[in-house]
Amino acid sequence: MIQTLLIMWRETLEAALIVGILLTYLGRSGERAGVRWVWLGAGAAVAAALASAAASRGAIAMLDPDTQEVLQAAILFVAVGVLSWMIVWMNRNARAIRGELHEKADRALAGGRLVGLATIAFVAVFREGVETVLFLWGVVLERASLAVMPLLVAGIGGGLLAVATAWLFFRGFSFLSLPTFFRVTGVLLVFVAAGLLASGVNKLIALDYLPPIVPQVWNTSWLVRDGSAVGAVLGALMGYRSRPSLLEVLVFVAYFPPMLWALRRRVSSPPSSRAPHTAAPSAA
């Protein structure tokens, strides 16, 4: 039972943390519509995960396992693209909020960004959701008796525990001042994106579509074990693995320079362009 709870905790944690970052950010910047769209994306993903697990002997089974895996990697890369775009926007937005605190209520998110937020929430939840459903379905299949109930309860409890973990994690953030808070969530999301990119690459390496170059660059399992609570949180937030391949490390590191460049580029332009007409709401 404890085992079922722990497995579910780990499977749900990543989704809970990513959705948690988005919700906390949007909540603190007063973007009500954004909050709704994140929930919409997350809810749609739960439904899609249930549907795809139910159909896994039908429609999805038509795709061979490797094609499914390539598809998952592709979804990850698309998510990294959307997330990067959102991070750049959020960074600019954060500065606009600092500049025009009283106009917060007037600020509205453009449609494309709402879809972007919903997409990230969808991918984060769907990715782990399919595995979660398959795992729980297995629990039901393997114990065709009443003994299954406590296990299901433990499983759902594990999921709730992950949500609670994410909530606690971001509770700590509420003590940060608004500028610091925006900076910290921004940095966290850049790590999330780099981690997603590396895990997409990991899938392609395991499929032999990409070479690992060096299978294990280092081993930090003495410091943080992959299966531990800290390892699970770091894994969820930045794709932590104790023994990454060189290609994964290179891809992870390579994500930062262009991202920092995109963030810096925005730093210099808005203040000068906004200064002459302060009353106009930011174009963001």
Residue closer to other proteins by CB (options 112, 150) is: 150
Residue closer to other proteins by CB (options 225, 265) is: 225
Q: Which residues of 105-121 are buried (b: 16+ CB within 10 A; e: fewer)?
A: eebebeeebbbbbbbbb
Compute the least distance from the CB of residue 113 to other proteins, in Å: 28
Residue closer to other proteins by CB (options 44, 70) is: 70
String of DSSP letters for 205-228: HHTTSS--SSS-S---TTTS-TTS
Compute the least distance from the CB of residue 141 to other proteins, in Å: 5
Reading the block at residue 120, the tokens are 């990230």
Name the residue among 13, 16, 37 with its Cα closest to residue 86: 37
Compute the least distance from the CB of residue 271 to other proteins, in Å: 39
Query: Under the rule (CB under 8 A), what is the footprint of other proteins?
Result: 3, 7, 56, 61, 65-66, 69, 131, 134-135, 137-139, 141-142, 202, 205-212, 214-216, 221, 225-227, 241-245, 248
Residue closer to other proteins by CB (options 34, 195) is: 195
Contacts of 277 (CB under 8 A, 6+ apart): none
Compute the least distance from the CB of residue 226 to other proteins, in Å: 4
Residue 130 Cα to chain centre, angstroms: 15
- Contact call for residues 119 and 76 (beta carbons, < 8 A): no
Name the residue among 171, 204, 179, 187 with its Cα closest to residue 71: 204
Compute the least distance from the CB of residue 260 to other proteins, in Å: 26
Residue closer to other proteins by CB (options 220, 282) is: 220
DSSP SS3 for 63: coil
Residue closer to other proteins by CB (options 21, 247) is: 247
Compute the least distance from the CB of residue 138 to other proteins, in Å: 3
